[in-house]
């Protein structure tokens, strides 16, 4: 698959027109990268839904992911908080002019079936009761620095 020109890639935002016009997603262009565009929508309070579309520079493959989580920069940093939930919407290494439009259709189906509300409840629960607990570094340091 041929690598897309940066300007051409940014034009894929038009493929998500229904999410923008009918479902209230916004396009924070200042947060875009040459190979990544993002859409965001406030779901409730501090919680957002992010749609990230990208083209990989190495092989030109295309990917769309949907995230639900607390407010954050919509990029790869979303991986760093265990409360964020990621749904792989689509990935292809084959040139497909309808790829992003088909991804939008899948996302709309998830929204219409109230899947975002279910994911939001799980994110809120994860923030209140983390399933992954980090070890207190003060305790670890004291183990290694105390002389016996």
Is residue 99, in this structure, part of any structural domain at all?
yes
In a domain, 113, yes or no: yes
**Three-state secondary structure readout of the chain:** CCCCCHHHHHHHHHHHHHHHHHHCCECCHHHCECCEEEEEEEEECCEEEEEEEEECCCCCCEEEEEEEEECCCCCHHHHHCCCCEEEEEEEECCCCCCHHHHHHHHHHHHHHCCHHHHHHHHHHHHHHCCCCCCCCHHHHHHHHHCCC
**What is the model's pTM?**
0.81
Domain that holds residue 80: 6-145
In a domain, 1, yes or no: no
Mean pLDDT, to the nearest integer, of 128-146? 59
Mean residue pLDDT across the chain: 85
Q: What is the pLDDT of residues 106-119, one digit of tens each?
A: 999 999 999 999 99
Q: How many domains does the structure of the chain reveal?
A: 1
Burial of 50 (0-12, 13-18, 19+ CB in 10 A): buried
Q: What is the C-alpha separation between 56 and 100, in angstroms, rounded?
A: 14
Residue 34 lies in a domain: yes
10 Å CB burial of residue 64 (0-12, 13-18, 19+) is: buried
- Point out the least confidently predicted range of 48-62, 76-90, 113-127: 76-90
Q: Are 90 and 64 in contact (CB under 8 A)?
A: yes
- 2 pLDDT more than 90: no
Model pLDDT, residue 54: 94
> Which residue in the block uniquely carries the two structure tokens 């629960």?
125
- 17 part of a folded domain: yes
Statement: residue 30 has pLDDT above 50: yes
Q: What is the mean pLDDT of residues 75-92?
A: 88
In tens, the pLDDT along 35-49 reads: 999 999 999 999 999
What's the confidence (pLDDT) of residue 136? Answer: 52
């Amino acid at each position: 698959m041929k690598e897309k020109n940066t300007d051409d890639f940014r034009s894929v935002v038009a493929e998500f027109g229904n999410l923008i016009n009918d479902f209230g997603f916004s396009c924070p262009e200042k947060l875009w990268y040459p190979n990544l565009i993002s859409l965001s929508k406030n779901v409730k309070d501090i919680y957002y839904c992010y749609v990230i579309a990208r083209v990989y520079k190495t092989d030109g493959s295309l990917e769309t992911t949907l995230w639900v989580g607390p407010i954050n920069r919509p990029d790869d940093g979303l991986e760093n908080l265990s409360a964020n939930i990621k749904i792989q919407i689509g990935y292809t290494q084959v040139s497909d002019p309808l790829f992003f439009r088909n991804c939008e259709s899948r996302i709309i189906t998830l929204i219409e079936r109230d899947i975002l509300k279910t994911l939001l409840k799980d994110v809120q629960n994860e923030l209140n009761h983390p399933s992954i607990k980090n070890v207190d570094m003060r305790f670890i340091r004291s183990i290694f620095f105390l002389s016996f």
